[in-house]
Amino acid sequence: MIIGKFILAIAVGYFLGAIPFGLVVGKLRRGVDVRRYGSGKTGVANVTRTAGKAAGSLVFVFDIGKGAAVAVIARAIIGWSGADWHAAAAAAAFAAMIGHSWSVYIKFKGGRGVTVGVGGLLGMYWPVGLACLGVFFLVVVVSKYVSLASMTAASCSIWISIPLVALNRLWLEYLIFGIAGTSLIVWRHRDNIRRLLAGTERKAGQRVEIDEGDDDG
């Protein structure tokens, strides 16, 4: 029975995480397919560059929301008593990151999993998620690079979680989620890493030129 519930939680995590809010908002706000411009990703950064700050803000809220929702739904599926729901929430949140990155709804394209991962942390243990979110915005302000901020914030989830786990203030499953999620995010940013090293990475707020008449879906 518990294995079936775990599988259900992971499936819900993937299919909810796979909802391409970036693509939907880009279409509704500007009538563009964000996959055709910039990085080709459906995450907050590329939506902001192609469809504007308002669209990017909407996607930010939706993607964080689906990450947090997945963690809460997984807990409800498993049940609130006992320790199993911590593992289920972590597994489902990671599945949401996978779904967001390789969405079944859009031919396994997607974003890089950053915002969904933060949402998952907020849904599991909000202080860690909030701290990572703070680090993200701080690095963006200082460096102007969203990619660098994303990878730094993700790695902070590990360093913040380690002492909390050692002090029995945080479940080990959440640290494992941080390690897995950070590994995924860094791997998904490998093209950004090359551009950062070459000095050609786009900075925050740098817009991408698009064809206003684009209605390709």
The C-alpha angle with vertex 217 and arms to 44 and 116, in degrees rounded to 5, equals 25
The arithmetic mean of pLDDT across residues 177-204, rounded, is 95
Query: How far out from the chain centre does Cα 18 lie?
Result: 11
Q: How high is the pLDDT of residue 128? A: 97
Given a contact cutoff of 8 angstroms between Cβ atoms, the answer to whether 100 and 14 are in contact is no
The answer on pLDDT for 217 being more than 70 is: no
Model confidence at 11, pLDDT cuts 50, 70, 90, reads very high
Determine the Cα–Cα distance for residues 32 and 116; give it in Å rounded to an integer.
22
The arithmetic mean of pLDDT across residues 7-33, rounded, is 95
Q: How high is the pLDDT of residue 121? A: 97
Phi, psi for 103 (deg, rounded to 5)? -80, 130
The answer on pLDDT for 82 being more than 70 is: no
Whole-angstrom CA distances from 144 to 4, 165, 205, 206 are 45, 32, 8, 10
Q: How high is the pLDDT of residue 81? A: 65
Whole-angstrom CA distances from 142 to 94, 128, 136, 149 are 29, 21, 10, 9
pTM: 0.92
Model confidence at 61, pLDDT cuts 50, 70, 90, reads very high
Phi, psi for 37 (deg, rounded to 5)? -130, 160
Q: DSSP code of 169?
A: S
Torsion sign, CA atoms 163, 165, 167, 171? positive
Residues 6+ apart with CB under 8 A from 168: none
